[in-house]
Amino acid sequence: MPKTVHGTAVCAALTSLAIIAAPIQTAHSQAARPSTPVTVNNTTTNPVPSTVVNPADIAKALGIQQPVTFSLTFSAASGMVPTSTLYTVPSNQRLIIEYASGSCKLTNGANLNDLEIGVLGLNFFPVNLPPLSTSGNFAHTVKIYADPASIIDLNTNGSGGTFNCVAAFSGQLVDVP
């Protein structure tokens, strides 16, 4: 009887060892195998269902740190001091403006030569406007960079009458190290 108990114990020990070692060996052999590319055809006739689990991961993969939108206005009347709104870039981030759109309305014989989006005191981007008699719209893909704490403004160059312009901007804020 002791031989049977001893044999059973040895058999049980070897079986336990095999159960523990098998997953380790399988994982090791899988790690050594090269990956195989997978092509997924997602057509309208044979769609592959998919779900965006975390949109922030997509933005991160595309390099978008923090999307931002803001708008600016500019108003001027003949003989009056122009008024405008400003946008200040946060002091720990850089602004990248990627899209600008807006409209201008002219009254009382105003003549608008150009519209400028700028980093106050440094540089500006002239917006190409169609010839305006009373109003006009614009939309441009742009790439305007502004350093931390910069002030973004909207300005016009024209004469006579009254100008009222509004512009909307979108882009991203990037953390500055």
| CATH number of residue 124's parent domain | 2.60.120
Does residue 51 lie in a domain region? no
Residue 70's nearest CA partner among 91, 92, 89 is: 89
Burial of 29 (0-12, 13-18, 19+ CB in 10 A): exposed
Host domain of residue 6: 1-31
Q: What is the pLDDT, as a whole number, of residue 21?
A: 53
Q: What is the pLDDT, as a whole number, of residue 171?
A: 92
Does residue 6 lie in a domain region? yes
**In this structure, are 23 and 64 located in the same domain?**
no
pLDDT less than 50: residues of the chain:
none
Q: What is the pLDDT, as a whole number, of residue 60?
A: 65
117 and 125 Cβ atoms separated by less than 8 Å = yes
How many CA atoms does the CB half-sphere of 49 hold within 13 Å? Answer: 0
CA distance 98 to 64: 12
What is the value of pTM for the model shown?
0.60
**In this structure, are 64 and 107 located in the same domain?**
yes
**In this structure, are 146 and 74 located in the same domain?**
yes
CA distance 84 to 171: 21
Q: How many distinct structural domains can be found in the chain? A: 2
Does residue 49 lie in a domain region? no
**In this structure, are 23 and 80 located in the same domain?**
no
Q: What is the pLDDT, as a whole number, of residue 91?
A: 94
**In this structure, are 10 and 65 located in the same domain?**
no
Residue 75's nearest CA partner among 125, 115, 109, 44 is: 115
Does residue 52 lie in a domain region? no
pLDDT in tens, 93-113: 999 999 989 888 888 877 777
**In this structure, are 73 and 153 located in the same domain?**
yes
| 108 conformational bin, left if phi > 0, alpha if psi -120 to 50, beta if neither | left
Does residue 72 lie in a domain region? yes
**In this structure, are 110 and 159 located in the same domain?**
yes
